[in-house]
Structure 1
Amino acid sequence: MASKLVDLRSDTVTKPSEAMRAAMAAADVDDDVLGADPTAQRFEAEMASIMGKEAALFVPSGTMGNLISVLVHCDVRGSEAILGDNSHIHVYENGGISTIGGVHPRTVKNNPDGTMDIDKIVAAIRHPDLHYPTTRLICLENTHGNCGGKCLSVEYTYMVGEIKSHGLKLHIDGARIFNASVALGVPVDRLVKTADSVSVCLSKGLGASVGSVIDPPAEIVGSKAFIDKAKILRKTLGGGMRQVGVLCAAAHVAIRETVGKLADDHRKAKVLAEGLKKIEQLTVDSASVETNMVFFDTMDPRISPDKLCAVLEQHNVLAMPASSKSIRFVIHYQISDSDVQYALPCVEKAVEELLKGGTEFEHLTNGTTKNSYGH
């Protein structure tokens, strides 16, 4: 078995860099629940500045960041949020906005590029009627994970923002918003300017160990009210942590050092997609690869995603199915060019082995593959 391990399951699998570990060890900390952790305060202030907002709040995870944001905007139980039918909030966050917040999801079909048709969003807004919940929020996702890491443009986001004239708020699940910024060549603050809140994940493409940041509206009055409510909800959900500066220190390094590497991640994803195109039994649209994700379909029933991932693991390439017919590879800054070049022949060899119907791999495909499509 090869000694090399190439982990393409997700950009959530990154390990803290030496610089991050050093920053964590040296972090100046205090009690953040009491509002006294200096490293957390400095990091939140920098994130607010980068995002063009007045404030920011560190939370343990992107799911919590999205949940808190939705609950701040939909603070009356029975409110309704419009969101994509293939969005992370709707599909992969355990129904938290409903089970915890009493918020009803009103889904609109996501297009292949991650957008929702503007007219369909408008049509989904409830008119006042005692039979209906009250529409209070629209949620977007940028980049859109289930749609291949596609980027939502500034122009599209502004068009959705104009719908707020109906009395709505706009939240952006910006788990990979920096990937979108780099791919589009647009400052990240422009991508979220029209949003009333944005959740930014620090432990995906940026490579920090833990956490996300919520940024509220740019208006000082609005941002203070948002942060006050968000802190209460963070505490209620168990996300109020003490010496959190240890985590914020690593995230600070990630923001300063990893954002500049994202374009290289995108380049490697393109190289990976072009290589996969050469394998006859696979289908990949390399032109659709915009950021760090590559989705490809298997064309032969003997090569199911579960089986292919199981065989790849024997060659020390880790991946996860994206659906019953497709697989997702995700590049991050700890995947090198040589890793990409190592993975491609491994995929080709795994395909060949499955086509031969080798029974030595059957034990790997009897329910042992761990599907975790949401990450």
Structure 2
Amino acid sequence: MSPLPSSKSWSLHVSLLFAFACGLAVANIYYTQPLLGQLAKEFSISYSVVGTIIAVVQLFYAIGLLLIVPLGDFLSRRRMISTQLLSIAAALLAVGFAKSYAVLLAALAAVGLMAVVTQVLVNFASALAPETQRGQVVGIVTSGVVIGILLARTFAGIVSDLAGWRAVYLVSSALTFAVTLSLLSVLPRDTAHKPPIAYGQMLKSLLRLFVTERLLRIRAALALFIFTAFGILWTPLALELGEPPLSLSPTVIGLFGLAGAAGALGAVGAGRLADRGLGKPMTRTALVLLLVSWLPIGMLHYSLALLVVGILLLDFAVQAVHVTNQSLLFAALPAARGRLTGVYMIFYSFGSALGAFLSTRIHAAYGWNGVALLGAFVSSLALLFWIWTQKERSL
């Protein structure tokens, strides 16, 4: 493939390559979820605190969002993308060969820090895509992120059953290296330029951006709510399904990620709706579905089919809100995409970390019913927050 000279040569296969790269990069920080039981036994960690692994990775992801992603407004994004992906490949090798919990945690933290390459990719795709297709392209590429998160469970479950948990990270390292080469064959060369302000001042400008842009504040808060709910479901799910009375294998547990991926795919069109000015009704509908999803999710021990229905609803809702959020933000402030994404995705990361931290402790103390109630509570807060913003002042 020849490099893209401009947005005019953008095509579906390039969108899919960006989506695949995003999905692969972000999946690397979610492989641990179906492997939590195995990691707890391997490194002698109690189930009540094993969610700390995910929380630490998400916190380092947040640090990367704050310190690295905003640089995409000034540095060569082509160079940033290749450097970050190669760094992930190296860190994954360290995870695969880790002999102690400290080494495992440090290597996974490095993966989390560099995995913010997904946002650099989303920003680059948004900048390269034709203006009339921007929402659609963002929807496709962002879907790669969510699908990568969900299929990470399927991939990790199958590979760990076949060759052990270490093979998951070693195989992913090789795939990450390969996708780096593929991207370099299509990414156009973009030149870095000197930022108009110093790096420290740029970081301060992130806070100023958050304070002055109401749209950013509202959409960031929604990201915090929806990804807290997302983490509440997916972090303890492997523990619940893997223990008696269900005692499912990692492969079977991982297959539930397919249901989540199907739900996320259903929300690809959210970007097109945002392009047509339907962002607000899409947000409202998705938040209602997010709340409703916890009823079938809470019925896990009565019917696994109902659990699948709940997963479909929840992941559709999360993806629909997430794509709509980013489409609206990119359209509102195109010159600050990197900084906007950095601020917005910090709330995504904190939400994921908070969901992982809270849910494993609630699960240890109150079981699956406690998890479902916690998820419903957070989802209701998200819906109430949205209703309040609409009554306060129209977006």
| TM-score strictly above 0.5 | no
Larger radius of gyration: 1
Q: Which has the higher helix share?
A: 2
- Give the TM-score normalised by structure 1: 0.29
